[in-house]
Amino acid sequence: MQATQAQLNMNFIGHEAVLGEGDSFQAFAPASHAYLSDEFTNVTVEQADQAVGKAVAAFAAYGKLHPGQRADFLDAIAAEIEALGDELIERAVLESGLPTGRITGERGRTTGQLRMFASLLREGSWVDARINPALPDRQPLPRPDLRRMLVPLGPVVVFGASNFPLAFSVAGGDTASALAAGCPVIVKAHPSHPGTSSLAGQAIIEAARKTGMPDGIFSLLHADNEVAQALVAHPDVKAVGFTGSRRGGLALLKVAQERPEPIPVYAEMSAVNPVVILPGGISDQAGTSVCEKVAAGLAASVTLGVGQFCTNPGLVFLLDSPLTESFLETVAEKIRASAPATMLNAGIHSAYKKGVQQIRVLPGVHVLAEAETEADDERTEGRSAVLTTTAPLFLSNTDLSQEIFGPSSLVVICQTEAELADCLQSLEGQLTATLFATPDELRQSSVDWVTLLQTKAGRVLFGGYPTGVEVCEAMTHGGPFPATSDSRTTSVGSGAILRFVRPVTYQSFPDALLPLALQNANPLGIWRNVDGNLTKESC
């Protein structure tokens, strides 16, 4: 499937491709530090309202579909994205500055998670069906027939992310999980990759047409902040998915909370993803250089993707030991050898340079190493850096615990376990927390490091690196505020579907009027909780 130039520049209000009636803008190619010739137009508040109206109409029809039909739709989206071929890859590379291999892998992740949710729908047990049949003869009072399951919330607005132009954007995890849940989706495209967004949006519309989905089940809008906030404030929108800055996420939260009917905003906003290294975690074992391997792995994690992962390890807490100097020497060596690379856009590039400069001039902060090659601003390049400080200085200055989005990390050298514990206690919520230690070391410590890290993060790693988020059933990509706005949820993995549903109990309903998942014969063949027992049998 090849997109025409007119389609590339279009918004989609339901199945209809339209030109926005708002301001126009151009895509930016960060590798050449130049604007592209394509001109995109933002929609107006009135056009956004049309998209919501179509989503409301589609919601009624979409909710009546068999789960298998929704699964077929998700599979079709994956196939249409793949059918775009090199056109999608090349456009995403051009607009993001990310290498072809990275974008190709991200396309695979995008289609993989769509198919994961399709499989989840076909298996069906995610609806958490619970049945307590009537007990008319129960004394002193009879029990009515009660049946409970999860149902979709309604139209959802999704904000595309800058750092994942495919997997966290138009057809990414938020869209896939909301569509799987039974919710129409309106995507506000990220202005850093509008052409990529339009191509992905076209693929979803094509899949919707081929599988007979109702008009309005999906819309793609290029929009400014005014329109974005109007979408969140719209009374018919029932939830929001967002990945981006803390400032942006908090602005949307404020709008959502000030509505007459507040709605959930599932916002992933900020994390520094601490790495805790105890002496045993870098001690040599069986003749292998563990210290060197851990240091090299850490440096690679810091610089991966020019540090533009939400799971980038921005803080390292190192309990001082005879191995400290050797560990830091290896980190420095790897950082100096790293090559500057193009960042996602001019704004991110500028913020990264400013962030590093602000902390490097603070008293007690030292530059351990920087990439030896100077970064080229004309290619929007970021230069990797690792800095060091002490625990007392870290605890005295909250600026040192703030996220710097890019290929840098701050190593905090702690003299005692108490200092290290105090540093960790001072942190805000995180997406990840990583621990390098030996099991004996943890058992003998006066601090319960695992429990401490668990209170701070949604994913706790042992002896690994946080960059890289597996899309699977057991993944949690979320954490206490401000990592996410709701620590009970995940934006990655099959559990992401639970953000866009709510429980409903049906009392004393005729069997024929019940949803299929709750009918006596169990026509979907799913696992259900019947009077406390999991079974696929009829009831």
207 three-state secondary structure: helix
Q: List, by residue number, the catalytic residues.
A: 268, 310
Q: Which phi and psi (to 5°) does residue 329 adopt?
A: -65, -40
Residue 278 Rama label (left phi>0; alpha psi -120 to 50; beta): beta
Q: Residue 458 in contact with residue 484, Cβ under 8 Å?
A: yes
What DSSP string runs through 433-502?
EEEE--HHHHHH-SS-HHHHHHTTEEEEEESS-S-----STT-----TTTTBS-TT--SSSGGGGGGGEE
Q: What is the Cα–Cα distance from 382 to 374, expressed in whole angstroms?
A: 9
Q: What is the Cα–Cα distance from 21 to 48, expressed in whole angstroms?
A: 11
DSSP secondary structure code for residue 281 in this structure: G
Beta strands in 306-451 (DSSP E): 315-319, 341-342, 366-370, 381-382, 385-390, 408-414, 430-436
DSSP secondary structure code for residue 398 in this structure: G
One-letter-per-residue 3-state SS of 124-137: CHHHCCEEECCECC
Pairing relationship of beta strands 265-268 and 34-41 according to DSSP bridges: unpaired
Closest CA to 203 of 39, 70, 83, 55: 83
Sign of CA dihedral 205, 206, 209, 212: negative
Q: Residue 163 in contact with residue 59, Cβ under 8 Å?
A: no
Helix (H) or strand (E) holding 28: strand 24-29
Pairing relationship of beta strands 528-530 and 130-132 according to DSSP bridges: parallel
- The amino acid sitting at 204 is I
Closest CA to 11 of 255, 267, 194: 194
Q: For residue 239, give every residue at least 6 positions away whose Cβ sits within 8 Å of its Cβ, in sequence order, or none.
A: 153, 154, 156, 157, 178, 183, 263, 264, 265, 266, 499, 500
How big is the chain, counted in residues?
A: 539
